Amino acid sequence: MYYFIGIKGTGMAALALIMHDLGYKVSGSDKEDHFFTEDPLVERKIPIYPFDVNNIKEGMIIVQGNAFRDDHEEVVRAKDLGLKIYSYQEMVGKLTKMFKTIGISGCHGKTTTTSMMAHVLDSIRGSNYLIGDGTGSANKENEYFALEACEYKRHFLAYSPYYAVITNIELDHIDYYKDIDDVILAYEQYANRAEKMIIACGDDPYTHSLNVDKPIFFYGLDDHNDIIAKDVEFRDDGTSFDVFVEGNYYGHFDLPLYGKHMLLNSLAVISVCYYERIDAKEVSKYLKTFRGAKRRFKEKEIGDIVTIDDYAHHPTEVKVTIKGARQKYPNKEIVAVLLIHTYSRAAKFTNEFVDALNLADKAYVMDVYVDRKEDI
């Protein structure tokens, strides 16, 4: 029995779903408040309990969520019983060795790129996937494992990817990383864990500075890249482009998505598919049916008003979300409402958030939301 302490966390819920799908008995505990991640757990009949020391029993294997410290009552009980305890990233790391893992990292675009990768690979050949929006699925017979690999506190160094994908590098998680050089070093360490190759966005200013000892291939719009998108058209019904690999035509692609960032995310997926010798027409077919990740550019219409919900928590992400809205709705007024996560991020990136919000016609900023302990 695998018991998850903090089973409603987005990563933990996805991991619990995967372990269940692989045939293991799974249960867990969390706060009693409803959270969207518990719905698929309930659908799979995975038991969820309120926190209680009596939940912890002999013979369990514990997966400890990163939000819960060693002095948590259930963790203390597990240690008293001498139970095996894995961190979230340690448990995921074990899974990465069981499948051909595509680890997708980057300051921005991880969730969408992982979701897109999972959709395409699962549709063509079958793929397991763990996505940071709480989505997880697995089958023992699948060859691939599409994994969102988060850089926070260097958690992704617990993983053993076949492909290490890097969408971009930028300073974030400033409660842990001291400067951009520290971030670059972490990505170097992660990239060098790749078994086959590294696939990175070559349009990013920092990816070319990575000191790696594995083959690295770059994708993007600039001509110096190995995988290049050309003849790009940004329209109000989506984005179309041709892809060339090392000067050779690979295929034509149409995305029902908006913004340069979505084009770059798709190039990461296309690059992996190319090196896996998947026919471009198959890749194009399933990219057309991708509808986005949870909480990423999710639209609702209220009369003549269109609301767009996007988990854009960094100034760069705010910019690309507003630009995507402009592409799809060029004749509408764009009003941005921003909820910043953590005081440290608000203080560090104040000017950058201002620059991003200036891309909108009007902007409103809500009170800062704190989702983990920090010094104020």
Q: Tell me, yes or no, whether 189 and 146 share the same domain.
A: yes
Q: What is the pLDDT of residues 245-266, one digit of tens each?
A: 999 999 999 998 888 989 999 9
Tell whether 292 is covered by a domain: no
Residue at a domain's end among 264, 287, 310: 287
Query: What CATH code is carried by the domain that includes residue 322?
Result: 3.90.190.20
Give me the number of domains the chain comprises.
3
Q: Tell me, yes or no, whether 357 and 270 share the same domain.
A: no
Q: What is the pLDDT of residue 347?
A: 81
Q: What is the pLDDT of residue 61?
A: 98
Q: Which residue has the tokens 């100034």?
A: 315
Residue 133 and residue 125: Cα distance in Å, rounded?
23
Tell whether 27 is covered by a domain: yes
Task: Indicate the SS3 state at residue 356.
Answer: helix
Q: What are phi and psi of 362, to 5 degrees?
A: -140, 155
Q: What is the pLDDT of residues 311-334, one digit of tens each?
A: 776 788 888 788 888 888 888 899
Q: Strand (E) positions, 11-77?
A: 26-30, 48-50, 61-64
Q: What is the pLDDT of residue 376?
A: 45
> Is 354 within 8 Å of 327 (Cβ atoms)?
no
- Which residues in the chain come in under a pLDDT of 50? 375-376
Q: What is the pLDDT of residue 306?
A: 86
Task: Give the gyration radius of the chain's Cα atoms.
Answer: 21
Domain of residue 259 covers: 97-287
Q: Tell me, yes or no, whether 226 and 257 share the same domain.
A: yes
Q: Tell me, yes or no, whether 280 and 335 share the same domain.
A: no
Tell whether 376 is covered by a domain: no
- The set of residues, in sequence order, having a beta carbon less than 8 Å from that of 2 and lying 6+ positions away, is 16, 19, 24, 25, 26, 27, 60, 61, 62, 63
